[in-house]
Structure 1
Amino acid sequence: MEKVMKEAEKILSALENTLSKFDTTWINTVPFEGSWTAGQLAEHVILANSGFLQVINGPITETDRPADMMVAQIKNDLLNFNIKFRSPDEIYPQVAVYKQQELLARLKEIRNGISIAASSLDLTKTCSVFKLPVYGFLTRLEAIYFAIYHTQRHEHQLEKMYRALDTN
């Protein structure tokens, strides 16, 4: 469990660090056609990861398969940057004026919550409150890895946004 905690800390912190690099005027600027703003991207990650944190801390059942069975597939899917996913409506960010410091505070709060969950809960249990399309019910371990890889995917996108805005 030490490995997943370190990986979560590293990736979730990386997103915060990248968002911190943005000039405050860039947070709500569309960097290129077809893109969200950095604020919208951060809000999307907040909505998704806070949802996963609720799932991880929610009702559980016993697991009848290896607790990490879906991790490789989740990683392969989410870190394939050639595939474009459509965000589910419930985690689709609104067009709004986002404040960088508020986003960073919320991201840090979620990172701390995931760290606490990873260090204190039985990660082999299956989360029974939410069934993901394609993957089904995830174990707590798989749900944490989903948050890690989802965040890593968006940190990659946030870096592209930063480079686009930094060169204009």
Structure 2
Amino acid sequence: MEKLIKELEETFSTFQSELNSVRKDKINAVPFEGSWTAGQLAQHIILATSGFGEVLNGPTGETSRPADEMVAKIKADFLNLDIKMDAPDFICPEKKEYHKEELLESLTSIKNDIASSAKDLDLTKTCLAFKLPVYGYLTRLEAINFVIAHTQRHVWQFKNINSKLELA
């Protein structure tokens, strides 16, 4: 569990570091055609991960399979950068002005909420509050790994955005 929490914290720290490195005047700039802005990318992670604290602490059931059964598939899917993924509408960020400080604050809160839950809860239980598209109901362990892998995927995207913004 300590390894999982450390990976969660390091992943969010890396993502936040990428966000923090974007100049304030570039946070809402489109780096290249078809891309989200840095602000939108951060908001996407917020939208995609903010409910996981509630999911982890929500209703659960007994798990009738290995608690980590979906972890390898989640990592294989999200860490395969050759696959183009489209976010479901409910986690697509608005086109609007974003503020770096607010985004960083939200990300810290989400990280702390999930890490706290990971320390205190039985990670083998299946979360019943939300059925994740493609994967279905996940165990708490799988849900935390989903948050990590999804955020790691977007760290790569952030590096790409930042490299384009630096040239602009």
Q: Identify the residue that residue 101 of structure 1 maps to in structure 2.
A: 101
Whole-angstrom distance in 2 between the partners of 1:161 and 1:77: 21
Residue of structure 1 equivalent to 2:48: 48
1:134 CA displacement: 2.1
Counterpart amino acid of residue 133 in structure 2: P
Q: Which 4+ residue blocks in structure 1 deviate beyond 4 angstroms?
A: none
Q: Which amino acid aligns with 1:87?
A: A
Query: Which residue number corresponds to residue 86 of structure 1?
Result: 86
Which residue in 1 is equivalent to 2:122?
122
Residue equivalent to 1:131: 131
Identity of aligned residues (%): 55
SS in 2 for 1:19: helix
Shift of 1:53: 2.2
For residue 77 of structure 1, what is the aligned residue in structure 2?
Answer: 77
Where in structure 1 are there 5+ consecutive unaligned residues? Answer: none
Aligned equivalent of 1:163? 163
Aligned to 2:66: 66
User: How far apart, in 1, do the equivalents of 2:162 and 2:82 lie?
Assistant: 19
Gapped runs of 5+ residues in structure 2?
none
CA root-mean-square deviation: 0.8
Cα offset for 1:139? Answer: 0.2
Task: Return the alpha-carbon distance in structure 2 between the equivalents of residues 159 and 52 of structure 1.
Answer: 25
Corresponding pairs, count: 168
What TM-score does the superposition give when structure 2 sets the normalisation length? 0.98
CA distance in 2, matches of 1:92, 1:53: 19
* C-alpha distance in 1 between matches for 2:57 and 2:91: 19
Q: Once the 2 structures are TM-superposed, how far is the Cα of residue 84 of structure 1 from its aligned partner?
A: 1.1
Distance in 2 between residues matched to 1:54 and 1:12, nearest whole Å: 18
1:98-151 per-position Cα deviation (integer Å, ceiling 9, x unaligned): 000000000000011111011111111000111122211100010000000000
TM-score for the superposition, normalised by structure 1:
0.98
Following the alignment from structure 1 to structure 2, what is the Cα–Cα distance between the partners of residues 161 and 75?
22
Distance 2:55 2:48 in 1: 11
